[in-house]
Chain A
Amino acid sequence: MKRDIITSAIGILVLTLLCGVIYPLFITGVSQVAFPGNANGQQLFVKGKLVGSKIIGQNFADEVIGKNGKVQMSAGNPVTAPDPHYFQTRPSATIPSDNAAATMFSNLGPNSVATEQEIAGNIAAYLALNCPTAVSGSGPCPHPYDPAVTRASDVPVDAADSSASGIDPEISVANADIQAYRIAAVRHLSRSTVDHLISEYTLGRGLGFSGEPGVDVLELNLALNRLSPSTS
């Protein structure tokens, strides 16, 4: 008994030193030397200013200015509206959107009215941005929008469902292709230019078979800004 207690006490201490100090420090050391970019979160800079992480989703939105000339607030956070000049990331359940310091699932059940309402809201917001006439539901969407997108059923699932992390950096190719119409119009770029950028920032499957292709939205938007910087 006494022997077990002594061995346990010493054991916890030395194994803590081994597994809790030496091991993580060793991994940190090797990582910082071999893969410093990755180990520090793939930070992206524009003109020396940190604008985000390549693998963390961002909310590409503008603060909404109220009638009194001040930024509208809701529960301590500014109210925002999606900026049409940028590709939009997936819906996020964090507060505020795409909060990478307090990630959260939506935790909405499969058979819940709350889930249906949330998805319907996301669909409405997506259509308002990518086919403003869709609300009246009349015929194909007019130029310059994607003529194939007029109803809820035309919205890709990843654009209507909240991501898991709340900071999903990627969107589906179908989602990007629809948004490309809008981006080309508001930025006065040709569709082929935008399509070319999309394919440039599309990440394939892992090892060629695992997971799904996705478009890295932050990198895509930064590339757009390099092409036509005169926005917002």
Chain B
Amino acid sequence: MTVTGWLTILLFAGILTILAMPFGRYLAAVYTGERTFLDPLLGVPERFLYRVMRVDPASGQDWKKYAKSLIIFSLAGWLVLYFILRTQTLWSFTGLNPMGFHSMPWNVAFNTVSSFLTNTNWQYYGGETTMSYFSQMVGLTVQNFLSAGVGIVVAVALVRAIVSRSGRSIGNFWQDMIRTILWVLLPISIVVALILVFQGTIQNFSSYLTVHGITGLTQSIAMGPVASQEAIKELGTNGGGFFNTNSAHPFENPTAFTNFVEMLDVLIIPAGLVFMYGRMSGKRRQGFAIFATMMIMFLGACAVAYIAEAHGSPAQHAAGLHTQVIAGSTGGNMEGKEQRFGIAGSAIFDVVTTVTSCGAVNSAIESFTGIGGAVPFANLSASEVIFGGVGTGLYSILMYVLLAVFLGGLMVGRTPEYLGKKIEAREIKLVALAILITPLTALFCTAVATASASARVLSISPAAAGGPQGFSETFYAYLSQANNNGSAFAGYTGFIQPNAGNLGSHGINLANLLGGFDMLFARYAPILFALAVAGALAGKRVSPAGLGTMRTDNGTFVVLLIGVIILVGALTFFPALLLGPIVQGLTSHLYH
């Protein structure tokens, strides 16, 4: 460990907080229709989109109508993306398939499309060996925007319902979607993409370079429109890499500076939405309380990951390596990490992308130490409420807030209420379903995959499939997909690629179909429950806070909330976690 490493963690947290507060105010303005500095520029395209899409932004929707628009819009996106990936060769006339890649087989396409629609971006394919520039741009980049938008609008709708005083409307889905893309996602993506190119991320349509290296060996270098996709991949907490090694690839993440920018890019919306919530509810301390909860857990995760990775792995020590800091090297577990990021830059990036539903990686999680690898597991087990995905983080933690209010109410023996609204049986049932559906789906799929004989071939080394590492791979795969995260213990592979020329990457049905189901179900079911909670809360009478009202904006509540999150996660996942990362973290034994 080094002073600079710790400094990076603290500076990152500080800069994020400073940026997120004014950004939250901006978001509140965007979703309540107040003026923003971008209005003069975006008014025309906004009205144009309303007209061609035949949207009446003035008509509010109740939660059922809102949900119906959301589901139909997602279904349409699913079909279009599936069509694009299955007909990749058809679009070669655009000149955007210079390497002549084949179309995706149906099973990989099913998984990939479900993955990008649900903001998961789990990848059972290698980007630079499978996807044409056309598919990356016109197919995947688009869903990076739209799936992020879907997450954000659900959170906005829930917030509206919590603060609404009358009526059943929770907003208009189409208006929220269009404003999200125009006011939030596109402007930031443009700025970040240009910063990335300025630092060395590539952005072109050339065919792959053929290099005659200085010792005479030939090297082929993949190209592509990377920066435009990279920017929204992080901003929308999508995380699907343009290349197979994701943000570890120097063309995606060329310097430690871009690494820092990409981490901010990931967290700015999830953090900003929390402050937006404080603004929109008119009780900014509520926002601060939730932000404090998230930040405390985030810093804890960073510290554990950094300490564990800086310590090094049992395999390194068994091979005789010294992993302390020496002059000119930081030591630590550098297996599967890049020199320019080092231990701290890799550990924080890993935490940033697994507390959110981003799932981009700049280092190989599979090669993290037992305890270092337990951190992303723990982040996923907490159902991604530590900042969480764009929108999903806020609506998920609000579910936990309601649960904490309920439990707190039971403890003090009062009818639980939140911001003046009574929390009754119907709300708590829906909250419980919203919270439990993701863990249950993850555990169910893990159990199926572990019990199935065909799961063994999925592990990169069949010998490891029976040991703790093999179990970690399987468990992480379905946990990550259920949480719509998309990062992986990447030895778990759902495709067999005969060679780098991509003559069809053969999908493995079990992995592709089970994973696709995992992602779709664990995405849309909680969204529907969250919207149903919104529907139940919208228009509820607000009673003034009395002496007996439990406060939800002080330190006691933050502690209670953290306790509830950890309790639910630990009770659900602890037995499974013991079998995988924890058993490895507690021993220096080497397994075959």
Contact = CB atoms under 8 A, between A and B. Distances in A.
B97 interface: no
B68 A158 contact: no
A61 interface: yes
A99 B220 contact: yes
Contacts of A117: 319
A153 B320 contact: yes
A20 B194 contact: no
Contacts of A116: 315-316, 318-319, 590
Interface stretch (B29-37, B70-78, B399-407): B70-78
Contacts of B361: 164
A163 interface: yes
Given A60-B214, A112-B591, A31 B203 contact: yes
Contact of B243 (A10, A62, A103): A103
Interface string B169-205: 0000010010001000010011001100111111111
Contacts of A5: 72, 76
B559 interface: no
Interface in B323-371: 323, 326-346, 361-364, 366-370
A19 B337 CA distance: 32
A102 B129 contact: yes
B202 A1 contact: no
A189 interface: no
Interface string B67-104: 01100110111001000000000000000000000000
Nearest to A155: B321
Interface in A18-44: 18-21, 23-24, 26-28, 30-32, 34-35, 38-43
A58 B321 contact: no
Contacts of B199: 38
Contacts of B223: 40-41
B336 A106 contact: yes
B316 A20 contact: no
A120 B137 contact: no
B431 interface: no
B204 A172 contact: no
B319 A152 contact: yes
Contacts of A20: 137-139, 141-142
Contacts of A34: 194, 197-198
Interface in B472-508: 472, 489-491, 500
A19 B256 CA distance: 28
B228 A27 contact: yes
Give the interface size class of chain A: 35 or more
Contacts of A52: 211, 213-214, 219, 221
B473 to A, nearest CB: 9
Given A105-B245, A164-B248, A115 B313 contact: yes
A66 interface: no
Nearest to B581: A110
B250 interface: yes
A174 interface: yes
A175 interface: yes
A14 to B, nearest CB: 6
A31 B192 CA distance: 12
A183 interface: no
A8 interface: yes
Contacts of A175: 328-329
A155 B323 CA distance: 10
B194 A31 contact: yes
B316 A209 contact: no
B312 interface: yes
Contact of A209 (B11, B323, B491): B11
A129 interface: no
Contacts of A32: 203-204
A68 interface: no
A21 B68 CA distance: 28
A211 to B, nearest CB: 2
Nearest to A110: B313
Nearest to B587: A111
B112 interface: no
A108 B141 CA distance: 31
Interface string A145-160: 0000001111111101
B335 A100 contact: no
Contacts of A174: 326-329
B17 interface: no
Nearest to A98: B219
B255 A211 contact: yes
A109 B197 CA distance: 34
Nearest to B213: A58
Contacts of B177: 11
B316 A23 contact: no
A60 B126 contact: no
B203 A11 contact: no
B383 interface: no
Given A23-B228, A153-B321, A105 B336 contact: yes
A107 B197 contact: no
Contact of A100 (B221, B320, B342): B221
Contacts of B260: 206-207, 210-211
Nearest to B249: A165
B225 interface: yes
Interface in B370-416: 370, 372-373
B554 interface: no
A173 interface: yes
Contact of B205 (A3, A28, A103): A28
B204 A39 contact: yes
Interface in B520-572: none
A126 B181 CA distance: 51
Interface of A: 1, 3-12, 14-16, 18-21, 23-24, 26-28, 30-32, 34-35, 38-43, 46, 49-53, 55-63, 78, 80, 83, 86, 90, 98-117, 119-120, 123, 151-158, 160-177, 203, 205-207, 209-212, 214, 218, 221-222, 225, 232
Given A101-B208, A164-B338, 6 more contacts: A51-B211, A52-B213, A58-B214, A108-B367, A110-B367, A161-B333
24 contacts: A7-B73, A14-B53, A19-B141, A19-B146, A24-B225, A31-B227, A39-B204, A40-B223, A55-B251, A62-B215, A83-B215, A104-B126, A107-B460, A109-B472, A110-B584, A117-B319, A156-B326, A157-B321, A162-B336, A164-B361, A168-B339, A170-B338, A172-B330, A210-B257
- 5 tightest Cβ-Cβ pairs between the two chains A and B: A211-B256, A152-B320, A206-B256, A174-B328, A212-B342
